[in-house]
Structure 1
Amino acid sequence: MSLFGKKKCCACGETIGAFYRKKLPCGFICEKCSHQISPLVKYAKFTDVDKLKEHLEYRKESSELLEKFQITRIIGEKERIVIDDKNQLVLFATEGDKWTKRQPDVIHFDQITGFDEYIEVIDSGDYYESSEGIENEVPKGFVSCNFSFILTIDSPWFSVMPIQINRDELITDDIDSAEYRKYKEMLDEVKETFRPYYRSARKIS
């Protein structure tokens, strides 16, 4: 068989066209199966076919959870945590994401086992990078703030989920301003939502 000949998908066994060459450690994979892999998982994880098939089965179950997902809360701006309080489910999305290109991972509340809060403060005279990737100097008498958190997740496929909740840097001369409090309250809301499920030995204040 030539280098560009047809190959079989290691997941479903279907023939892969000559112009599609998605290679995993465990073999080649077809376009349909590759699109079913979680966007949160690196291909290097699939060192054997059984692991890949196990993941695709997990994604099928996640798809079924998505069908019954009922949005009750959305926390965040550009990066968002989407919550279904009724079914105790959660997924992660970005602004404007309609979930049509890549299916999100849906997880249960009790899979969230830890929470870490991060408020980055850059002082006046220092530089921050804007959401457009441009470096700007923080004006005199002001600070630049970003608000983010990391959830620890009990899953064989990924263990953490970092989220920055503010879309643009908050430039403020008052850390007790309404804008600052808004983002801090978002962090607190996430922390308290999953507090009953935290398993970390360290205290989450």
Structure 2
Amino acid sequence: MAEVAMNKDFETLFQQLLAQPLGMKNSHFTPINTDGGHSPMLGGGLCTTLNDYIHFLDMIYHQGIYQGQQILSAATIKVMQADQVKGAIIPPDNYIAKALGQAHNGIYGLGEWRELVDQQTGEAYQISSPGWAGAYPWINKRDRVYGFFITHVVGSSAKEDGFSSFYGSPIISRTVSETISGH
């Protein structure tokens, strides 16, 4: 839709609208070559560095502003972090339940998991976007901390002891939040 609306390919849009303004000099989307064309692999296809991705998290944390420049509107950030499923029935063994022991149905934002939610306001105060391969970017607005973990698990031995980097990463973020905030 973005390509049609802007009459530009996705990678060009990503570079012009996000990567360049955020100083993400080493970031691009992995292409999927279909009939000679360039279709980006949006789910899990971002090739980036830790420093580049921290710029992105910084912008999200600061309501769309990065180094004094409005990259995304605060309204866009609010929509991204809003409950996008509106009370849909979520299986009890979902990511939020397994990873954090939380029981709420508003787990999906746009491109973000709504991990921890204020029960009175319904607003997410911890968001993330974990990858199955061990990437875990997160923002905890309540404790005013954000970061990015990459865990690497080698071979099948990773599953023999039950460890999952996907489900284990939120434990690391909770430890960091508790350490920084003194909880």
The interval holding the TM-score normalised by the smaller chain is under 0.3
Q: TM-score, normalised by structure 1?
A: 0.25
Higher strand share: 1
Higher helix share: 2
Larger RCO: 1 or 2 (CA < 8 Å, sep 6+): 1
Which is greater in Rg? 1
